[in-house]
Amino acid sequence: MIAIDLGSNTLRVLQMDCSSGEFLYEYQKIVRTADNLIHTGVISLEAKDRIICAINEAASHIDFTKDKIKAVTTQAMRAAKNSSEILEEIYKETGVRFEIIDGYTEARLTISAVLKRLDILGIMPKNGFAMIDIGGASTEIAFVYDDDIVAQSFPIGIVTLSQTYPSLDRLENILPGKIKIINDYIQNIISQKGKVDMVVATAGTPTTVAAMKIGLDFDTYEASKINGMKLDLSDMDEQLERLLHMSENMRQIAVGTDRSDLIATGIVLFKSLLKLLGKNECVVVDDGLREGVALEGCKAI
């Protein structure tokens, strides 16, 4: 089974053995699908070319013709006026047909992967957990109480925020107003269903901060080393301070090319969301939408 997640910033590919659950091959590439989307309303031709190049690069390592492929794409394509044309061109060039999924489906699939990882780690909370998944153009906040899942997607992401508010000081000033709708949602769910024991963080911002905390960089990153790690607000502050004082070359080594502005924005956003949930720490899980797509795809085989 080959699962492909075309996000608003990153293309992630996973080949999974459905019988054993083993990950056979993993690939990811920064493609900035949502680059300048906030200003133009469309996916650029440059972004389309980056996506095609990344898919073809992944296909050079995996034989796409021998496995079932399930490919999904999210907020950038949901929002873009030209998503149908772009996805058709990607299909013609790569043979990969993407499905645009809604925000709830995105959160549901991500949760399925997170639940499996928490079970493997043996840290399933007794009274439920909240999940924060910050993407390039959207953020998903979900609550899991036993078998009851409540999830919502919000069109607030690190690519669109960083390109609208390049100054972190400016971002911190406007953020409370931007995320009021998220706060209203969180408080409504908590008032109805109660507080959760834990916050689980997935996606690039928390995984990158966790990696930096234990001395890993973009090239030496290992999911197995950060799965289950705890991060608190002071960790976020410390790694943001480190990132801001690095040279540009050191930033690229630490977090990857063209990612430092996004990670900085993500840290500011993540800290605000964690506070809205009434927590000062979270558990980091690397598994996300890509893994959830693979799990669901395997069930259908």
Q: What is the mean pLDDT of residues 134-153?
A: 89
Report the pLDDT value the prediction gives residue 260, as an integer from 0 to 100. 87
pLDDT tens digits, one per residue of 76-135: 999 999 999 999 999 999 999 999 999 889 988 999 999 999 999 998 888 889 999 998
Q: What is the per-residue DSSP string for 56-69?
A: HHHHTTS-TTSS-E
How many angstroms separate the CA atoms of 229 and 207, rounded?
9
Which domains can be identified in the chain, with CATH numbers?
A: 2-103 (3.30.420.40), 120-289 (3.30.420.150)
- Its pTM stands at 0.87
Report the pLDDT value the prediction gives residue 8, as an integer from 0 to 100. 86
User: Which spans in 165-232 are helix H?
Assistant: 168-178, 180-193, 204-213, 223-226
Amino acid (one-letter) located at 184: D
- Look at residue 301 and tell me whether its pLDDT is greater than 70: no
Q: Name the average pLDDT for the chain.
A: 91
Q: What is the mean pLDDT of residues 139-167?
A: 88
Report the pLDDT value the prediction gives residue 64, as an integer from 0 to 100. 86
The answer to whether the beta carbons of residues 83 and 77 sit under 8 Å apart is yes
Residue 154 burial (10 A CB sphere; 0-12, 13-18, 19+): middle
Report the pLDDT value the prediction gives residue 47, as an integer from 0 to 100. 95
Q: What is the DSSP letter of 114?
A: H
